[in-house]
Amino acid sequence: MTSAAESKEALRRAMRRQRAEVPVEQRRLASETLTNASRSLLLGLSAPIVSGYVPIRAEIDPGALMASMERYGARLALPRVEGDRLAFRLQLPGTPLVPGAYGIGEPAAGSPVVVPDLMLVPLLAFDRRGGRLGYGAGYYDRAITTMQPRLTVGLAFACQEVAAVPMETHDRRLDLILTEQGLIDCRRGAAHSRSMRILFLGDICGRPGRTIVTQQVPLLRQRWKLDAVIANGENAAAGFGITEAILHEFLECGIDAVTLGNHSWDQREALVFIDRQPRLVRPANYPAGTPGRGATLIETASGARVLVVNLLGRLFMEAFDDSVRAVERELEACPLGQVADAIVVDMHCEATSEKQVMGHMLDGRVSLVVGTHTHTPSADARILSGGTAFQTDTGMCGDYAGVIGFDRREPVRRYIERTPGGRWESASGPGTLCGIAIETDDRTGLAVSAARVCIGPELENCGPAW
């Protein structure tokens, strides 16, 4: 036996005793507390398969958490010991479990085999770098190695934490640990050691906007070493909404997430395809039951996580739900520094004052609050006193020779003659790209720099000093 294996065996004996000492009532409350994290864990996963487990001995019970995740759209699976491996099989509603190899309840052999997107993992001890001590048979290490779930989450009582779990080469580290005291992101620090550079692009308008953005984003990603690019795409389809084909163009050119606004549904197909596109975000303050999501969590190449939230203003716009409550709900599910390494809020809104209120309200809690919708960049990109980058409106990516991205002839004629006429057509001249580029502090996730970005023929060009 190697020295690491001997140390693990000694730790196993100690931790079995420690876990068994947690009083029954405290165990029950701890299990219920885990449900607070359900939404955070599911952010960015669309209709995921979540594998849980049936608790044995004094393991923390994942039952309430699993039920809560099922209510948020997850499909549940349980492990079944098959030879020296775990197979995960769907737990179909109303189907009883059958006793398995160790007398533990398992799905019946006929249940469909699945690969979990999110794997809940029981454990005896953990450390803050994701080190996990199991029971020694290696089932979960082999399952993680072969199945590569998108997220592995160890469940434990807080008292099961140790300074460092001895690790052998076959041991797999977990992404997150969830205890009754909260969520520990084990990838922070280990995953990325420098601050993040994020580019946000204003409303991409029609073909001129799409052309300049798809040309420039690959170059800017490389030149500025960007970690994430986010863009508002609600006017991408000739000024009115977005199609799935256009969304693919954006994702393929290097945009990580696309936000929307008051034109979200101008292309009716968006009502359908948004549910299968986890990186497309509509305003969070649409009424309950609206298709899609109001926030998404994207992962950068270095493993950092950026929460993107979209909101609609309420001044001089259609009546929507309360944007304050909507954003607080999203931030509570995914706080900066705990689940998200950076947070970007797109405040899609007519009124300058309302955007500035949102900036100050969220100052110190998110990395960037940026206004969109007016299609004209404001010259106030800066960092607020609490550390949040802010710009009242970041302008559009489109043809500035027109009127808010449309061919100027019809709007001008209609303003003079005051009579209805032809359709507003997207302008067709060369596009100018506008946005804001920020850099975040890797310890706090707040902004350390913020600069306007403008590239194109119509406005004075500017950008960060990178």
Positions marked catalytic: 263
DSSP code at position 318: -
**234: Cβ contacts below 8 Å, ≥ 6 apart:** 203, 241, 242, 259, 260, 261, 262, 263, 264, 266, 348
262 touching Fe ion, by CB under 5 A:
yes
For Fe ion, give the closer residue by CB, 74 or 312. Answer: 312
Site size toward Fe ion, by CB under 5 A: 3
Residue type for 114, please? V
For Fe ion, give the closer residue by CB, 132 or 373. Answer: 373
How far apart are the two ends of the chain, measured CA to CA in Å? 52
Q: What angle do CA 305, 309, 310 make, to 5 degrees?
A: 150
For Fe ion, give the closer residue by CB, 243 or 262. Answer: 262
Binding mask 225-254 for Fe ion (x = CB under 5 A): ------------------------------
Burial class (CB in 10 A: 0-12, 13-18, 19+), 222: exposed
Report in angstroms how near the CB of residue 269 gets to Fe ion at its nearest: 19
202 touching Fe ion, by CB under 5 A:
no
16 phi and psi angles, rounded to 5 deg: -60, -45
Q: Pick from 84, 79, 154: which is nearest to 124 by CA?
A: 154
Rounded Cα–Cα distance for residues 342 and 359 (Å): 15
Report in angstroms how near the CB of residue 370 gets to Fe ion at its nearest: 14
Report in angstroms how near the CB of residue 350 gets to Fe ion at its nearest: 8
338 touching Fe ion, by CB under 5 A:
no
Q: List beta partners, residue 233.
A: none
Which of 79, 134, 254, 261 is in the footprint of Fe ion by CB under 5 A? 261
For Fe ion, give the closer residue by CB, 280 or 334. Answer: 280
Residue type for 312, please? L
Report in angstroms how near the CB of residue 261 gets to Fe ion at its nearest: 4
For Fe ion, give the closer residue by CB, 171 or 203. Answer: 203
Report in angstroms how near the CB of residue 438 gets to Fe ion at its nearest: 22
Rounded Cα–Cα distance for residues 276 and 271 (Å): 10
Beta strands in 156-227 (DSSP E): 176-179, 182-185, 197-201
Report in angstroms how near the CB of residue 460 gets to Fe ion at its nearest: 24
Q: Which residues within the stretch 347-386 sit at the binding site for Fe ion (CB under 5 A)?
A: 373
For Fe ion, give the closer residue by CB, 49 or 404. Answer: 404
Query: For binding to Fe ion (CB under 5 A), which residues are involved?
Result: 261-262, 373
